[in-house]
Structure 1
Amino acid sequence: MFVAALKWGAAICLLGLIGLVVAVAVAMTQLPNYDQLSKRSDLGQMIRVRASDGSLLVSLGPSFGRWLAYDEIPPTMRAAMIAVEDKRFRSHIGVDPIGVARSFKVRLDSGRWRQGGSTITQQLARNIFLTNSRTFGRKVKEAVLALALERKFTKNQILELYLNRVYFGGGAYGIDAASRTFFGHGAERLNLGEAAIVAGLVKAPSNYSPTADVEAARGRASVVLNSMVENGFLPAGEAVAAHPAEVKVQPAAKQNSVRYFTDWTLPQLDTLIDETSEPIDVYTTLDPAMQAAADRAINGYSPPGAQGALVAMDRDGAVRAMVGGRNYVDSIYNRATQAERQPGSSFKLFVYLAALESGMKPSDMVVDKPVTIDGWTPRNSTRTFAGPVSLREAFSRSINTISAQIGDSLGFGTIADMAHRFGISGRISTFPSMVLGTSDVRLIDMTRAFASVQNRGISVVPYAVKKVVTADGRLLYQYQSNEQRVLVAPWVAAEMTDLLQSAVLSGTGRAAQIGRPVAGKTGTTSSNKDGWFIGFSSGLTTGVWMGRDDARTVAGLQGGTAPARAFAAFMKEAVAKRPVEQFETQAPMPDWQLEPDEEAWGFNMEESAPLVDADGNPIATQQPDPLAPEQQRPQDGSQVDQQWLDEVLKRNPENRPPPPRAAPPRQQLPQQQPSEPPPDPLQPRP
């Protein structure tokens, strides 16, 4: 009976052994080759977002670092990992019988499978091919795969794969990513103390992460060093000299205000590059110094209980700084790009652009007086009326009744069209009160509009991504300037700049002065719910908004107070190293605009004969067409693209108002008796 049982047992063991050999052989044939295993795209996509100077802003997804060949890995790193994770790594066949026996004992004692008993090869098999479920079936698969790995690859290759793929916490996969994350340098430079900390992370990455609990990490490193000594990998004297407590850990990158920018930037990748699982580096326009200055300005000047936002963009639309709130950790809501708030008097930019385009001049005299339009009676903040004032003074003092008269004279739809022309994306009311900024807008759109004025009336489109490259340097995307649109004629933009500069020099925006030319406009909504200041200097345009998310009153909040001061504090730092630029407040008009007839082009378009060369062949000529695409216009680029405006404004070309082809002569105030009021250009034309 005993002999029969023994025979049956031997037969079962033999069948099991044969089955195991077959399973390992099959697994070997299905294993990827070494080059395939060294690709880590199966771990997820890593995206590193970088600032304009190449510094790392944020790393999302897994971090891989550089793949290190076996000989590039410091011997102390290899020894530390073997000592603490698998001291019999060099001698077992992929599965350690002693470790397996210990694992079964733990299972019997505790009633469930616990972490333990797995060799480095088994851990590699689990990390690449299996899940972390603690079931008997998974342990069997893990063992089979480990045996197959040992048959297919050398010990050195397995250790290389393991050290370059294992997770060390903080999003870091592989020792190079871990070294760069925690110590700020590549893994080839790891010293003994640092190697001990890295090796100690595998057991519990979250518990022993140096950036989460540096003391726990150093304590675990001491355990690793003792294990190295006990197993003959390290002399005791060297372990004592390692001093894990003195290892300097690189602090985790602060991801506060910069996350507002990266959250706005990353979704744009969907339209810039094709889908890829490769690790990529996204190089952006963000200036770290400007971002820090913006963060300080918003947190330093926002009233208690209020939020603040700031956007700064260069003359080409490159966004240099973006703050969407006082603290990203407390609120990820981006008030610079998502919030829609009433702009108050900063909206008067479009009112006065329309006035200037219609022929009015900064020096024209207008009358500040009581007005009522369709039952609406606007009031000035001073509750008084100044009488005859220049258009420049009316703007700099932000006189509401003048804006109302401009809207009534030109048409409120004309003002709305001007705002849409300059990039305001939301719906704009055409009720009379719209001239005082009662329609909700976004800060980034308003900042873009002011930037287009600084750009001599040529459109500015904000952008954030300069280029996208893969980890091996392959270029996926390179920024190219968008087609620029002429929004208003150059002299309109120049005269608007004149008005904006006067608002800072002597008007409501005096707090925004920074010791160099600044042009800008304040905005304050009813009951002090919103405060705005948007302006530009030295090629940089910056918009600031402050208010409460619940739109409640903020005591003392006005555009000319906290927002203007935050603007000045930021701009003093942001443009400190830029040359001082004087504003161009008068732009010359080209001859073809001053003389808009056939003779201005040098020939009669309808009657002249075609030009021919000496052989009688016709000479190709390019006739200026005010409705043609922009590249066919005269080189001075001063003609507004009317076809594009028709598309933006969704209007029928047949109903298009005739564009002003020449600036009307400046209106001169006639000689009158002092008792007689000056002529008012805002009165309806006969």
Structure 2
Amino acid sequence: MTHRTTTHRHKAGLGKAPPKANTSRNRPPSPPKSPCPRTRHNATSRSPDQRGHRSKTRNRPGDIRTIWQRLRKACRHPWRLLALGMLAAITLGTAGPQLILAAHGWRSDLPRSAEVQQFFEQPTLTLEIQDDGSFPQHCACFLPVDAQDVPAHLRNALLASEDRRFDTHQGIDLIGTLRALRANLAAARVVQGGSTITQQLAKSLTGNQRTRHRKIRELVLARRIEASIDKEEILRLYLDRAYFGRSATGIEAAARAFFSKPARALTLFEGAALVGRLPKPSGRSDQAALEADARRTLDRMVAAEMITRAEATAALAEGPQPGGLPPLSFNIRHYQDWVGRALHKQGLRGRFQVVLALDLRHQMAARGAIADAIAQGHLDADQEVALAAIAPDGRVTALIGGRDYRISQFDRASLARRQPGSTVKPFTFLTALEQGWSPEQFIDDAPILLDGWQPRNHDRLYMGKMTLSEALEHSRNAATVRLAKQVGISEVADLFERFGLPGTPARPAFLLGAEATGVLDVANAYAGLAADGRRIMSTGILGVLAPDGNVVLRRARQPQDQIASPHAVAALNTMLHAAAPWDGFAGKSGTSQKNRDAWFAGFSGQATAVVWVGRDDAGPMPGTFGGGISARIWRQFLEALEPPV
């Protein structure tokens, strides 16, 4: 996010008297005298006091003559620059942007007022591809903050520094723009910006490319944001997306990175220091720099009468009060590698900005669930784990390719192919439901021979007649194969294919998950069930921007084709809710032959998730089942995503 450059650093320069315009050093050679010389004939008649007064007046930094002299030095066509500046200022306070955009069709791809909120409801992460196609080792951290966790003094510090009239304007501040224009003309260069906080937030959607259309698009979007989102939410969103340095994006991550505490616990000094970093977040961040940032912000708060000089002095004397929280540090290398491979296949080379679909709240929850399983001894040292989560709109919000990237860079979530076991059984039952079967119809769980293949139940027992719901809940192999034979194995294989799962009629063992597949593939299939039978095109990339800000790649809205009967899927999901022993969750465990793979797949209202546990050498894991450790990780992850009651 681009922030305005402040004028504080230029005060000393502005206080100096500019050189006189007509001196022997810069005056052009005098032309031959004419009978009517073009001279100030009254200059010699002035008294020294008058001339001195004139000189002092010219030397005032805000004087129009001084501004004009600096303008002439700064550009060849000062009148044109001044006219454009005045036109821009006038345009800001009128319907000009709307009229221009309507005439040229520039606003067609901007989100409408009713759509603005959803653009900010999806926290994203931006990474930079290096010239060699790789990503940086660590990304900027992002952790959302709740509005009630933003201290009042932090809000005041932000407004004093960035947008004093935030509470009264409607996204565009004409007075602030004119003030910035005057300051920039006085300095003959850009020393102050006129963008409001809302405009800076809008810039996160319009991009930073410098085109003649960008600023107008930004203004229109700022008005739409103000029409769609209340002021406090705009401030929260801005603080969520601002970059503060030290790989911290958002005020919550910054509070932990700089002061080892949550945002709600920031002191006046600490909040002022962080706000002071906004114009130049990549600058120095040592103690002296933080004190300078805090002092600058506190001075502005005093000038805005938000605090007293005594309060500012006390805050500076107190200094930072670090807490005990460790700084946030996220390693999403498996996710980065997965995205990098996808971009490589598309031939993308060079330096680009990639907007990821990753949600660090989900990634944190996934990493936390796995870390707890390791700490509690539920995972052996030689057991690996993978997790993938997909939001209802197809964004891959979390991806864990292994227990520790430093030890193994292999991405088991997107590259490994393992037998999914019983996690694929629901799709046989869905085929029957599409053909008119009822969950309460009976199927015989008895020995069956199919082309020389005799599947057995894991407990070597048979339960006889049982309903489809019971057969799925108890994961009966014989009943599943018998059901597939009755509805048609080819029909089941066809439905598997529709959901992106492997299935070959000539090898009926696919019915019990004997055909290898990937964690992401199973997640996509279950995401289709969560979407009432619509195909979900999952992705980890929301967009790619060139260095100039132009959009190179943007995720198109994927048509969600109906690939299964919604009525049949609804019936199956009811059965899956019964199979998962936790309220609000639907899912199915899976264990491959000789306990080589342990899976759990399913969904809640927040996301679809799949967890796999196994050994890289595909060795057996006696006593390990999908309903055990995999289900434990899966449940903890999804419960962490549920909104608090």
Question: TM-score, structure 1 length as denominator?
Answer: 0.47
1:557 to 605, 621, 624: 624
**Cα deviation, residue 433, structure 1:** 2.5
Residue pairs, 1:237-256, within 5 angstroms: 254=329, 256=331
CA contact (8 A) 1:312 1:541 kept: yes
CA distance in 2, matches of 1:380, 1:468: 49
Question: Alpha carbon RMSD of aligned pairs, Å?
Answer: 4.4
Name the CA distance, whole Å, in 2 between partners of 1:575 and 1:57. Answer: 27
Residue 315 (str. 1) matches residue 315 (str. 2): no
TM superposition shift of 1:369: 1.5
Do the aligned residues in 1 keep the contact of 2:523 with 2:608 (CA within 8 Å)?
Answer: yes
Residue in 2 aligned with 1:112?
none
Amino acid of the structure 1 residue aligned with 2:605:
S
Displacement, 1:472?
A: 4.9
Deviation at 1:519, TM superposition (A): 1.1
In 2, Cα distance between equivalents of 1:271 and 1:422: 23
Q: Does 1:371 align with 2:448?
A: yes
Does residue 449 in structure 1 map to residue 525 in structure 2? yes
Structure 1 pair 416–463 and aligned structure 2 pair: CA distance change class (3 A): same
Are residues 1:356 and 2:439 paired? no
Corresponding residue number in structure 2 for 1:336: 413
**Does the CA contact (< 8 Å) of 2:443 and 2:483 recur in 1?**
no
Equivalence for 1:467: 543
Please state if 1:570 is matched with 2:637.
Answer: yes
**Partner AA of 2:477 in structure 1:** N
Q: Deviations over 1:239-270 (max 9, x none)?
A: xxxxxxx999x9997453x1111111123335
Give the residue type in structure 1 aligned to 2:343. Answer: L
Q: 1:538 to 1:571 in 2, by over 3 A?
A: same
Q: In the TM superposition, what whole-angstrom CA distance separates every residue of 1:353-406 from its partner, at most 9, and x where no partner exists?
A: 222122211010122212222222222223222121111111111111111112
SS in structure 1 at match of 2:402:
coil
Cα 1:61–1:494 change in 2 (3 A) is: closer
Does the C-alpha gap of structure 1 residues 253 and 379 become closer, same or farther in structure 2, counting only changes over 3 Å? Answer: same
Give the Cα separation in 2 of the matches to 1:70 and 1:195: 31
Secondary structure of the residue that 2:475 maps to in structure 1? coil
Are positions 1:297 and 2:297 aligned together? no
- State the alpha-carbon separation in 2 of the partners of residues 70 and 328 from structure 1: 52
The answer to whether the 8 Å contact 2:440/2:467 transfers is yes
Name which of 261, 264, 282 aligns with 2:338: 264
After superposition, what is the alpha-carbon deviation per residue over 1:53-78, rounded to whole angstroms, capped at 9, x for unaligned?
35566773699x9xxx99999xxxxx
Work out the CA distance in 1 between the residues paired with 2:370 and 2:548: 39
CA contact (8 A) 1:51 1:283 kept: no
Going from structure 1 to structure 2, the CA distance change for 1:351 and 1:574 (only over 3 Å counts) comes to same
Structure 1 counterpart of 2:559, from 483, 486, 498: 483
Q: Secondary structure at the match of 2:526?
A: helix
Equivalent AA in structure 2 for residue 266 of structure 1: G
Distance 1:61 1:325, change over 3 A: closer
Aligned counterparts of 2:604 and 2:286: Cα–Cα separation in 1: 51
The structure-2 alpha-carbon separation of the partners of 1:556 and 1:61, relative to structure 1 and needing over 3 Å to count, comes to closer
Mark the CA change 1:52 to 1:253 in structure 2 (over 3 Å): closer, same or farther.
Answer: farther
Equivalent in the alignment of 1:500: 576
Q: Does 1:410 align with 2:480?
A: no
Aligned residue number for residue 542 of structure 1: 609
**Secondary structure in 2 aligned to 1:568?**
helix
Mapped to 2, the partners of 1:292 and 1:471 lie a distance apart of 30
CA offsets 1:208-260 (integer angstroms, 9 cap, x no match): xxxxxxxxxxxxxxxxxxxxxxxxxxxxxxxxxxxxxx999x9997453x111
CA gap of 1:467–1:383, structure 2 versus 1, over 3 A, is same
Taking the aligned partners of 1:247 and 1:371, their CA distance within structure 2 comes to 68
State the Cα distance separating 1:409 from its structure 2 match: 2.2
Displacement after TM superposition at 1:194 (Å): 7.1
1:41-80 correspondence to structure 2 within 5 Å: 53-54=123-124, 60=135
Partner residue of 1:435 out of 481, 502, 511: 511
For 2:286 and 2:586, the matched residues in 1 are separated by 57
Distance 1:321 1:70 in 2: 49
User: Structure 1 575/366 Cα, relative in aligned 2: closer, same or farther at 3 Å?
Assistant: same
Q: In the alignment, residue 574 of structure 1 is paired with which amino acid?
A: L
Distance 1:431 1:271, change over 3 A: closer
Q: Decide whether the 8 Å contact of 2:124 with 2:357 is kept in 1.
A: no
2-side partners of 1:328 and 1:70: how far apart? Answer: 52
Q: What is the DSSP-based 3-state SS (H/G/I as helix, E as strand, rest coil) of the residue aligned with 1:298?
A: helix
Aligned length: 369
The answer for unaligned runs of 5 or more in structure 1 is: 1-49, 74-169, 172-180, 198-245, 505-509, 579-686
- Work out whether residues 535 and 542 of structure 1, in 8 Å CA contact, stay in contact via their aligned partners in 2: yes
Contact 2:125–2:356 under 8 Å retained in 1: no
Change (3 A) 1:391 1:481: same
Aligned ranges 1:660-679 → 2 under 5 Å: none
Per the TM alignment, residue 539 of structure 1 is displaced from its structure 2 partner at its CA by 4.2
Of 387, 395, 416, the match for 2:472: 395
CA distance in 2, matches of 1:524, 1:547: 10
CA contact (8 A) 1:323 1:336 kept: yes
From the superposition, tell whether residues 471 and 385 of structure 1 become closer, same or farther in structure 2 (CA, over 3 Å): same
Where structure 2 has 5 or more consecutive residues not aligned to the other structure, the ranges are 1-119, 130-134, 141-186, 192-245, 248-256, 260-273, 291-320
Question: Aligned match of 2:594 in 508, 513, 527?
Answer: 527
Q: Distance in 2 between matches of 1:271 and 1:357?
A: 37
Return the alpha-carbon distance in structure 2 between the equivalents of residues 421 and 296 of structure 1.
34
Counterpart Cα distance in 1 of 2:623 and 2:121: 36
Are 1:422 and 2:494 an aligned pair?
A: no
Asked if 2 retains the 8 angstrom alpha-carbon contact of 1:312 and 1:322, the reply is yes
The DSSP-based 3-state class of the residue aligned with 1:416 is: helix
Aligned counterparts of 1:480 and 1:404: Cα–Cα separation in 2: 40
1:434, distance to aligned residue in structure 2 (A): 2.3
Give 1:459's aligned amino acid: R
Higher Cα Rg, which structure: 1
Q: Measure the CA separation in 1 of the matches of 2:349 and 2:121.
A: 22
Counterpart CA distance in 1 for 2:399 and 2:188 is 44
Residues 125 and 355 of structure 2 are in contact (CA less than 8 Å); yes or no, is this contact kept in structure 1?
A: no
Distance 1:55 1:466, change over 3 A: closer
- CA gap of 1:408–1:186, structure 2 versus 1, over 3 A, is same
Q: CA deviation at 1:487?
A: 0.8
One-letter code aligned to 2:368: R
Mark the CA change 1:430 to 1:443 in structure 2 (over 3 Å): closer, same or farther: farther
SS of the residue corresponding to residue 626 of structure 2 reads coil
Contact 1:380/1:401 (<8 A) preserved: yes
- Which residue is 1:283 aligned to? 355
One-letter code aligned to 2:437: M
When residues 275 and 182 of structure 1 are mapped into structure 2, their CA distance, relative to the original with a 3 A threshold, is farther
Counterpart amino acid of 1:348? K
In 2, distance between residues paired with 1:192 and 1:428?
A: 60
Secondary structure of 1:532's match?
strand
Measure the CA separation in 1 of the matches of 2:322 and 2:599: 48
Is the Cα–Cα contact under 8 Å of residues 345 and 436 in structure 1 kept in the other structure? yes
